[in-house]
Amino acid sequence: MVYFFIPNLIGYARVILLIAAFYVCFDSFIWFFIFYALSQLLDALDGHAARHFDQCTRFGAVLDQVTDRVSTACLLVVLAQFYPVYINWFLLSSGIDLVSHYAHLYSSLIRGAKSHKTIDEKQNVLLRIYYTSRAVLFTLCFGNEAFFLLLYLNHFWSGPAFFVPVANQHIPLVQIATYSMAPLCLYKQFMNFVQLLQACKDIVAVDITERRTTTKKR
């Protein structure tokens, strides 16, 4: 049964961890951090399990994508309460993340691609590198989630401070880690935008082809 394939069981575990994480997100930052981080680590495991056991399924792909999008969106909602001055940035990030991935999945479906990670040579070269290089995909996704998770942690605990010669001041450890992840997060947002533009281009191309076919039949 597809429902009980190993990568899908991992997906269910991710959902349970996320429910537990957001249940305690305002009461216990330590348990939230543990639950959320474990869920994201399992995200890197389910794909390997699917390939190793030859259990790649459309259901698993949808489960993985929906879990990713919901987890990030919920975390951004929490961060918007902790950092209200940046609420517009959190809204923008959440919006483009949801829209770009939905549009990309839809365009992949109507193009007949076997997977949303299948990018042909006619599509954007940056997007092709993003989806075909596991190292690039993992690094950007890790940096993106780490940045937001560190922002959450920084609200409760900043850690010991260290002297940073460049800034000529002492900066807490969590803030240093957050700053280091910021470039990866920004580039991931940029790739979401690139993905959205490419998806729109692909969908319009299918529209044009279908309209030409309909016109010829008339």
Q: How many residues does the chain have?
A: 218
What is the DSSP code (8-state) at residue 114?
S
Rounded CA-CA distance 103/88 in Å is: 22
Rounded CA-CA distance 155/32 in Å is: 13
> 58-82 vs 87-111: helix axis angle to the nearest 10?
170
Q: Token match 């951090």: residue?
A: 33
Active site residue: 43, 46, 64, 68, which one?
A: 68
Residue type, 140: L
* DSSP letter for each residue of 76-113: HHHHHHH-GGGHHHHHHHHHHHHHHHHHHHHHHHHHT-
β-pair partners for 171: 162
The answer to whether 68 is a known catalytic residue is yes
- The pair of three-digit structure tokens given for residue 127, joined into one six-digit string: 């997007």
Give catalytic residues, as residue numbers: 68
